[in-house]
Copies of this chain bind each other. A is one copy, B any other.
Amino acid sequence: MNARSAAQEEKRRLILDAAVRVFARRGYHASRVGDIAEEAGVAHGLLYHYFRSKDEVLATIFRENWGTLVGRFRDVAASPTTAEEKLRGIAKILLRSWIRDPDLVTVMIREVARSPHLQAQVAEIGDGFAVIRSVVEQGLADGEFREDVDPLFATWIFYGGLEELLTGWVLGQLPHGDADVARAEEMVVAVVCGGLVRR
């Protein structure tokens, strides 16, 4: 990567970061290309040098960040520990991303999670599920988890719990201080792994 590309890369980042802030603030549909350009401090035509369309900006945001998360999921899944600990690790990664970059999480939760449109563009979207599922299946294979567990549904239920917590924070409906995030993380593992019912 030479000096030129580094400068280019920097501008690309500028635009992506601006887009995250703008999408978080106004939502994807209500955000105009001009808003992003203004936030980035460039002319709006420049956006089209780096991205094919407004849509591609959103897809790029998702792809790059989701890819990072999934990579970290994989690290956790590859570590030598129990399935429960691995689920805890995944929960920690996902939930703490809220603290690290709330705008980014806002965009990913709000704009991407449910859009069949984007799902088509971003094949990687299923990768996170695959990692979680492999952990669940390990738990089953090891006899750590109950054998009547359906790994596919269990994966979605676990992920749903995580996503809903993020949603609660995005929508401002759940307390979201650092301590709250830590407690949420404990709760999601406690509930999903240990169940609500007193043993």
| Interface residues, chain A, with chain B CB atoms under 8 Å away | 27, 29, 83-84, 109-110, 113-117, 119, 126, 136, 139, 143-150, 152-154, 156-165, 167-168, 170-171, 173-175, 183-184, 187-188, 190-199
Contacts and interface: CB of A to CB of B under 8 A. Distances in A.
* Majority-rule SS of A interface residues: helix
Contacts of A190: 146, 148-149
Contacts of A149: 187, 190-191, 196
A167 B174 contact: no
B195 A193 contact: yes
Contacts of A194: 146, 195, 197
A156 B161 CA distance: 7
A192 B157 contact: yes
B146 A198 contact: yes
